[in-house]
């Protein structure tokens, strides 16, 4: 049996298409691009408007929820709990510093300011004595 080989022929349809068809295809492509651009612009505008409406709706719901007595009470409790935790934390830190006989940072800064003031006064006195 003889082996048949298939030859591939490079065939370009554009070579056989009439010029008027090419013009029509270009016009259609151009219109499709315009529609695509317009759709994208509308899509972005819709997305932005939707985002604004959603944010406004969420804000309204939050405002309404804040008016509910249970939510008000929960917010008060959260605030009290936060204050209590902060106070307990500060007291615990103070106990640790006191136990280790260390000065806190704010105390050190206050002492540094006083030392700077004293140094300034001392320089002023030294200048007066030198004169």
Per residue in 48-68, pLDDT tens?
Answer: 999 999 999 999 998 988 888
Asked whether residue 6 is assigned to any structural domain, the reply reads no
Residue 62 shares a structural domain with residue 84: no
- CA dist., res. 11 & res. 17, Å (int): 12
pTM of the predicted model as reported, rounded to 2 decimal places: 0.39
pLDDT tens-place string over residues 74-104: 989 999 999 999 999 989 988 888 888 888 8
Q: How many domains does the chain have?
A: 3
Cα→Cα distances 29→7, 17, 20, 25, 39, Å: 34, 16, 14, 6, 15
Q: 7 in a domain, yes or no?
A: no
92 and 117 in a single domain? The answer is no
Q: Is 119 inside any structural domain?
A: yes
Query: According to the model, what pLDDT value does residue 13 have?
Result: 63
pLDDT, position 72: 87
SS3 17: coil
Q: Is residue 111 part of a domain?
A: yes
Residue ranges making up the domain that contains 125: 103-131
């Amino acid at each position: 049996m003889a082996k048949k080989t298939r030859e591939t022929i490079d065939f370009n349809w554009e070579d056989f298409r009439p010029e008027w068809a090419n013009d029509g295809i270009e016009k259609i492509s151009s219109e499709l691009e315009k529609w695509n651009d317009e759709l994208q612009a509308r899509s972005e505008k819709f997305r932005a408007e939707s985002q604004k409406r959603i944010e406004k709706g969420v804000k309204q719901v939050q405002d309404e929820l804040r008016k509910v007595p249970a939510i008000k009470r929960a917010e008060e409790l959260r605030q009290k709990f936060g204050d209590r935790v902060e106070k307990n934390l500060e007291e615990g830190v103070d106990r640790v510093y006191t136990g280790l006989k260390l000065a806190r940072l704010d105390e050190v800064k206050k002492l540094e300011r006083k030392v700077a003031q004293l140094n300034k006064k001392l320089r002023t006195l030294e200048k007066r004595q030198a004169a």
